[in-house]
Amino acid sequence: MELSARPTPGPDPSPASKRVKQYVPWHGDVEITLRNVSFGYATVGVINWEYEYELEVFDSAGRPVERTELGKRVAELAKDESPKILTIAGNKELAPLQTIVDRQNLANYFKIEPGHAYTVTIHRSRGLPKVDEHQKPIKEVEVSCSFDVPDAGIPRVTHSR
């Protein structure tokens, strides 16, 4: 499995006829993609977004960004390994190169301030396949990635008509 993520500018409220390519402050919107890079089908357990991914957000000085009240509750619940919390809601079969895409706003979980620089790191180990396409055990069942958000913002790729 391969994990990638990128900051996204969120919805553009301006009319399509008025849009131009610009940099906008990041408000916490992120797109996370999990891709099956094996040669066979892979079964991914679908739990709940907050419990599938472990998130870390750091400011420009490398300090952890404070969590919101919801973020604190989710972090505490995610530590609970009981079946009640981590019940698999379903399984998703991914063909080779097929993806699952999650879009979330990290500002729900972290005190993100637009116009500031951040580094975001995302890990996932829950719900990932424990065996490869040949039914051999996978030694490390974790994927991770990170991205930087400059204080100047992120590009909103739109075009004027």
Q: Which of 18-27, 62-71, 141-150 has the lowest mean pLDDT?
A: 18-27
- Which domains are seen in the chain, by residue range? 2-156 (2.60.40)
- Average pLDDT of span 51-75: 91
Which tokens go with 130? 């424990």
* pTM, two decimal places: 0.81
* Cα–Cα distance measured from residue 86 to residue 80, given in angstroms and rounded to the nearest whole number: 8
Of 22, 21, 26, which is closest to residue 9 (Cα–Cα)? 26
> For the chain, how far is it from start to end, CA to CA, in angstroms?
39
* Cα–Cα distance measured from residue 26 to residue 103, given in angstroms and rounded to the nearest whole number: 14
- Average pLDDT of span 43-61: 85
| 3-class DSSP assignment, residue 39 | coil
Please give the distance of CA 109 from its chain centroid, rounded to a whole number.
12
| 3-class DSSP assignment, residue 93 | strand
Which tokens go with 100? 């699952």
Q: Which of 32-46, 104-118, 125-139 has the lowest mean pLDDT?
A: 125-139
Question: pLDDT at residue 129 above 90?
Answer: no
Strand order of the sheet with strand 118-124?
A: 53-59, 118-124, 143-149
- Average pLDDT of span 113-139: 87
pLDDT tens digits, 74-104: 888 777 655 444 455 678 899 999 999 999 9
* Cα–Cα distance measured from residue 119 to residue 149, given in angstroms and rounded to the nearest whole number: 6
